[in-house]
Structure 1
């Protein structure tokens, strides 16, 4: 969960504060933040059988 700033994944996916992301068990990705960010991380949220990443903009009323 991005709390403050912009979190970048794999150099081209940018997530502002309010985005929630989950990645499959043992997935790999490159993370960075040009200006810095603060994130909340909880490891191993998905079972080994879940394979679809999740990205939700919590500011979007549809979610």
Structure 2
């Protein structure tokens, strides 16, 4: 009843527009949160010193494996 009074004949179209806007806003917020988590992970690993781009010393195997 409220929608009929406020929006008149176009109440269905406007409710769809409102829902679509909320969906887009939710996707944008999720993308920002995801990018923030990836950035935080990258920065925290760099600050701790666990650089995953080759500066870690390589481990030597304790036993020699012979191919068959």
TM (norm. structure 2) is 0.15
Look at both structures and tell me which one has the larger radius of gyration over its CA atoms: 2
TM (norm. structure 1) is 0.16
Higher relative contact order (CA 8 A, sep 6+): 1
